[in-house]
Structure 1
């Protein structure tokens, strides 16, 4: 018997968000590996593009700024995506890259981890 594991769905990490879609914005994501919904992102200072949160980096991505809403495929060029950037409650179990510093940075943007 083969067991298949279903991937996380777009926005599955959201517990609640602001009315309408005030919590979300269209963003530019740097070229790179495929990303799953719930991936924490930081803003690369030099390019203005978002990339996966990396607490050891020194390019701006060491500060969590938002959470990727839907999946993005691998790409050699910048990609457009949507992210939760403010006014939301999110499920800790569905986030990728979360640590204490990221949780604190997100709370400053009124993204509360539950």
Structure 2
């Protein structure tokens, strides 16, 4: 019997490069919900100002990609704090969750380049 373990994406592992110092990252509020892994593409929920997983089918603001979650967060029934890459970075496409072509284009306007 084999014991295969799958290691999740580590904090910031998806980053290829970022701006000097802390210019690429910001503290954010994440909407209550399921656990999210580092590299999750996030959208901004207009009504609350919280970030939630990018969902192109939504109509609450989260249908517009806004940033990428820097480190994983656990499931929660209340708003959570987190850090996100919001500008000036190159990221690895294979380590992102929820990315599609539309999200990639919007992230590029924030100078987050998918490689």
What is the total number of aligned residue pairs between the two structures? Answer: 114
Check if 1:45 corresponds to 2:46: yes
Q: How does 1:59-74 map to 2 (within 5 A)?
A: 59-74=60-75
Query: TM-score, length-normalised on structure 2?
Result: 0.98
| TM-score, structure 1 as length reference | 0.99
> C-alpha offsets along residues 25-75 of structure 1, whole Å, 9 cap, x if unaligned?
000000000000000000000000000000000110000000000010000
CA distance in 1, matches of 2:7, 2:43: 27
Structure 2 equivalent of residue 85 of structure 1:
86
Secondary structure of 2:11 counterpart:
coil
5+ residue gaps, structure 1, are: none
Consecutive aligned runs of 4 or more in structure 1 exceeding 3 Å deviation: none
Counterpart residue number, 1:113: 114
Residue-by-residue CA offset, 1:63-98 (whole Å, 9 max, x unaligned):
000000001000000000000000000000000000
Unpaired runs of 5+ residues, structure 2, are none
